[in-house]
Amino acid sequence: MFQIEFDNQDTVVGIDLGTTNSLVAWMNLTKPEVIPGEDGEKMVPSVVSITPEGEAIVGNDARRELIDHPARTVYSVKRLMGRGVDDVQDELKLFPFRVAEGSESVIRLLLGEKTLTPPEVSALILRQLKKNAEAALGTPVTKAVITVPAYFNDAQRQATRDAGRIAGLEVLRLVNEPTAAALAYGLDKRREGVIAVYDLGGGTFDISILKLHDGIFEVLATNGDTHLGGDDIDNRLLKIAIEDIASEWGEDISHSGEAVQTLRASVIRAKEALSFELSAKIEFSWHGKTYHREITRELFDGLIKDIVGRTLGPCRDCMRDANVTPEQIDEVVLVGGSTRIPMVRSAVEVLFRARPHTELNPDEVVALGAAVQAGILAGTVENQLLLDVTPLSLGIEIYGGVVSKIIHRNSTIPASAGETFTTGVDGQTNVLIHVVQGERELAKDCRSLARFDLKGIAPMPAGMARIEVRFLIDANGILNVTARDARTGLEHSVDVKPSYGLTDEQVEAMIEASIDHAEEDYQAAQLAGARVDADAILAATAKAQKNDAWLALTDGDRREITDAINRLQLAYHAQDHNVIRAQIDRLNEVTHSLAEQMMNTAVSSALKGTKV
């Protein structure tokens, strides 16, 4: 494992890099605190605007630019992190800014005369947070813990690390947002428990179910809606107000960006007031005219009932995926400013049958948790678990010699993850589990850690068995690998120490080798996968040729299938996976009639002697 050494002067901050707003926090003696900016505001809007002179503006000033210069202003950049243009077509339709020509795998945003990648935009936000922290603490800040959504994949996490590096920050850890929220409430002090983290922010909704075991947080399941949040509530109230104004004044103000944004600000103030009061007023003045509208809590609840209801479906799905019931959930944590709304809190309490934690500011709870983790790393928080990271990916060898990565490089430990695999041969009763470490695509190029047999699997047709493989790395870096036959419950496990015998230089060399050989590794993995699929379809076709359905085909159909088999067998040893795939597709196509005939034969056999 990498060991990070700190001197006594190190100040490590925790950062919540959010879709709508971002915050920075630190451990102030005994408790975490959010650090305000020079304007006294703790939340920095995650908005960046580029002036005609090419200067970057961040935060509230940038948000004001959004009204007059939307094409030069970017927001919600978190949605674009680590993703290609093809991945975010739906999101890009909603944004006023454009993507530069030639953007494909790497998105480049065109902001005036300047182009920036999402990590570069995020770096500007991080740089502002860094500046705020340095001004408040009076010391340089170069190290940080940054939170990310639990569902972020490796590319999105790496993009976040890149943003930190560009901003001049050494990102010591990436911590899952729900885990940070649990840390902020000190829930890691429980030895066991199931925790639900309900996160309703401005633009997104996330629900995560965590399992805590001996200080280890495991994300059992996540769900949510990337286009659901407090903004939907604001837009609902804004639409009503605009319709009211059109009716009263005989004027449509929706075409004036300045008028709409001014009215939106009044709507948001009224919404926030309704979290604490039984009624609130929307007040708006424009060009000598004034609009007043009083909204009661009862009316407000009726207006947003369906929006709140849309969050409950993902919650139920998440519990089902985690295989838990509401009664099994021990703690519920609320995150995001929209969870202040009484109706939201009530709906969460009814669904999970537990009173949610509301003691901490829901806007700040993730940043506070990140600060706790930062304090642990800096040594200012004692007697708490120090979460390390695994320097190389861990996985198992699957068919074709390809590696299936189960715990990825830079994952925070303690960590737990698993996947379900199946057998490749009819009647298979044992499986060899080969545990490997490294970043290469093929097992032969990775470091072998352990091998063991799972014996006594129930004999079944290929692809029917379910072998659950789970990796668990404890706080000491010990990896426990368990393989379990889901049908019989039979299991076998082994303990290994992934980092044993590796120096930091060797780890770096392995990472560099994976980068240097990325293209050839990808091609080798594709080739191995194509040959595995070819083996499967050739075996299935050979089996089908022994069926009565084969004899029921026309001579022409049989010749066509035989020819396709021969072509695939010839292509099998080609070094281009596309050549093999083309012949697999051809054999798939010409065996449709055989599959249909086999189905007809099976149905006829089943109905033989049966009166309908």
H, E, C per residue of 347-375: HHHHHHCCCCECCCCCCCHHHHHHHHHHH
Give the position of tokens 């993902």. 314
Whether the upstream peptide bond of residue 45 has omega within 30° of 0, thus cis, is: no
Token readout for 405 is: 């990565």
DSSP letters, 248-313, are HHS--GGG-HHHHHHHHHHHHHHHHHTTTSSEEEEEEEETTEEEEEEEEHHHHHHHHHHHHHHHHH
Judge whether 16 counts as a catalytic residue: yes
Give the position of tokens 């019931």. 325
| H and E: helices and strands count for the chain | 16, 28
326: which residues sit within 8 A by CB, 6+ positions away?
319, 351, 352, 353, 354
Q: How far apart are CA 210 and CA 344, in angstroms?
A: 21
Q: Which of 10, 162, 188, 199 is catalytic?
A: 199
Token readout for 339 is: 């969870």
Q: How far apart are CA 480 and CA 483, in angstroms?
A: 10
Nearest of 492, 380, 343 to residue 430 by alpha carbon: 492
List 27's β-bridge partners, or say none: 32
Token readout for 189 is: 């002090």
Backbone torsion region of residue 563, taken as left when φ is above 0, otherwise alpha when ψ lies between -120 and 50, otherwise beta:
alpha
Whether the upstream peptide bond of residue 414 has omega within 30° of 0, thus cis, is: yes
Beta strands in 113-252 (DSSP E): 114-116, 143-148, 170-176, 192-200, 205-213, 216-225
Query: Across the chain, which distance is largest between two alpha carbons, in Å?
Result: 90
Q: What is the rounded radius of gyration, in angstroms, for the C-alpha atoms of the chain? A: 29
- Give buried/exposed letters for 187-197 (b at 16+ CB in 10 A, else e): bbeeeebbbbb
Rounding to the nearest 10 degrees, give the CA dihedral for residues 517, 518, 520, 526.
150
Quote the Cα angle for 164-73-229, to 5°: 80
Q: Which of 10, 42, 78, 188 is catalytic?
A: 78
Token readout for 555 is: 């001579």
- Pairing between strand 402-407 and 394-398? antiparallel
Q: Which of 65, 120, 177, 560 is catalytic?
A: 177
Q: How far apart are CA 12 and CA 144, in angstroms?
A: 5
- Pairing between strand 143-148 and 170-176? parallel
Contact 601, 548 (CB under 8 A): yes
Q: How far apart are CA 284 and CA 262, in angstroms?
A: 8
452: which residues sit within 8 A by CB, 6+ positions away?
432, 433, 481, 483, 492, 494
Q: Is the dihedral of CA 495, 500, 504, 510 positive or negative?
A: negative
Q: Is 87 exposed, middle or buried (0-12, 13-18, 19+ CB in 10 A)?
A: middle
Judge whether 199 counts as a catalytic residue: yes
Q: Hey, which residues are catalytic here?
A: 16, 78, 177, 199
